[in-house]
Amino acid sequence: EVHLLESGGGLVQPGRSLRLSCATSGFTFDHYALHWVRQAPGKRLEWLSGISWNSATIGYADSVKGRFTISRDNAKNSLYLQMNSLRAEDTAMYYCVRDRHLTVAGTFDYWGQGTLVTVSS
């Protein structure tokens, strides 16, 4: 059974950094692209970033480009999101998501339960 488990969320002050992790199991990790998607309170889901199976292709939404960095460790079956210069509008539930494909094709077939990030002073 496919499992994705996010961790690393919490309360952080504006301007500070946070690193999210996603531990996975139940599938061959390096056969799939992965993504981060978030949902702010009362807002629609927002795709943030995606990374191909071999990290060769990476994409970001404009809202996080230059502040967030996605990475993966295929030896540890894990996905990461380094979030710098956090803003109040980054407050959201953050989901780790698997793509159906090796490449960043954009069909999200499995989702984690999410980790909550709150940016506030």
Partner 1 sequence: EIVLTQSPATLSLSPGERVTLSCRASQNINNFLAWYQHKLGQAPTLLIYDAADRATGIPARFSGSGSGTDFTLTISSLEPEDFAVYYCQQRSKWPYTFGQGTKLEIK
Binding site for partner 1 (CB under 8 A): 44-47, 50, 59-62, 95, 100, 105-114
What is the smallest separation between the CB atom of 13 and partner 1, expressed in angstroms? 27
In this complex, which beta carbon is closest to partner 1, that of residue 12 or of residue 37? Answer: 37
What is the smallest separation between the CB atom of 111 and partner 1, expressed in angstroms? 4
What is the smallest separation between the CB atom of 92 and partner 1, expressed in angstroms? 13
In this complex, which beta carbon is closest to partner 1, that of residue 30 or of residue 109? Answer: 109
Element (H, E) at 57: none
In this complex, which beta carbon is closest to partner 1, that of residue 88 or of residue 116? Answer: 116
